[in-house]
Amino acid sequence: MEYPKECILDEPLIFDSHAHLDDAKFDSIRDELIPAMSGCGVMGIITCGCDINSSKAALMLAEKYDFIYAAVGIHPQEISKGENADEIKALCSHKKCVAIGEIGLDYYWEKDKAEEQKELFKKQIIIAKELDLPIIVHDRDAHEDTLNILKAYKPKGVVHCFSGSVEMAKEILKLGMYIGIGGVITFKNAKKLPDVAQIVPDDKLLIETDCPYLAPEPYRGRLCHSGYIPLTAAKLAEIRGVSAEDILKLTAKNAKTLFAIE
């Protein structure tokens, strides 16, 4: 297991608002990795489901570890499975389920199923609103339709791994939603993201990994986990003119507020 030494913190300050701890890439190290993270500065992780099975797996991890919380949902990339959102609704009654996600639109992978994606996205938003849960939104190459749906339904939640423009970020913020920023901010080709990172108010910023993917520099391409977040926090701190510790503290506070965690 690779744990970057410079990311080990004395205090638990890290709240990763978006992970996929059930991913098969963690299978051989999961039982070692999760307790290690908790000893190295990670205070909380939201692990997100992508279909019915991975949502159940997220709940099982949340049951097993105090500092792990689950989001349940059907990801747009899984649209072809034809799964029923009502099954997601049933999973929401679990006491460690804190959100519906990840849900949204993906026109990079499944553009030919845009209509089905929109229907499933709306259906899951309606469930979230009924249950008063926040949503975790995936938007890849689908900015306009994502924004239109969010404007129409006005759910609470976060647009994770934000990849839109500053203008779009402002629209999302107007809706009272949060902006999630991850390791991409450390990449040299993160064109618009530094400008977005500058304008998000302190109380609307979330930090995340989307692990096992998107490890921050200088570890780009490596198997990522929540322990890498101090590198993302350092970059955000540089952009926003504060300390990395400030970024970790405010993003942890925001995650607890949005996901109603004590």
Q: Least CB distance from residue 110 to Ni ion, whole Å?
A: 15
CA distance 236 to 253: 16
By beta-carbon proximity to Ni ion, the closer residue of 71 and 244 is 71
Q: Least CB distance from residue 199 to Ni ion, whole Å?
A: 23
**Footprint on this chain of Ni ion (rule: CB under 5 A):** 102, 210
Task: Provide φ and ψ at 67, rounded to 5°.
Answer: -85, 5
Q: Least CB distance from residue 136 to Ni ion, whole Å?
A: 8
* Positive or negative: CA dihedral 112, 153, 178, 26: negative
> SS3 for 237?
helix
CA distance 83 to 74: 8
Q: Least CB distance from residue 196 to Ni ion, whole Å?
A: 18
Between helix 229-240 and helix 244-258 the angle, nearest 10°, is 110
By beta-carbon proximity to Ni ion, the closer residue of 107 and 244 is 107
By beta-carbon proximity to Ni ion, the closer residue of 17 and 38 is 17
Q: Least CB distance from residue 55 to Ni ion, whole Å?
A: 13
By beta-carbon proximity to Ni ion, the closer residue of 102 and 139 is 102
By beta-carbon proximity to Ni ion, the closer residue of 23 and 245 is 23
By beta-carbon proximity to Ni ion, the closer residue of 78 and 210 is 210
At a CB cut-off of 8 Å and minimum separation 6, what does 86 contact? none
The DSSP bridge partners found for residue 138 are: 104
Torsion of CA 20, 22, 28, 31, to 10 degrees: 100
**Can you read off the two tokens belonging to residue 128?**
């979230």
Length of the chain as a residue count: 262
Q: Least CB distance from residue 106 to Ni ion, whole Å?
A: 11
**Using an 8 Å Cβ cutoff, are 79 and 116 in contact?**
yes
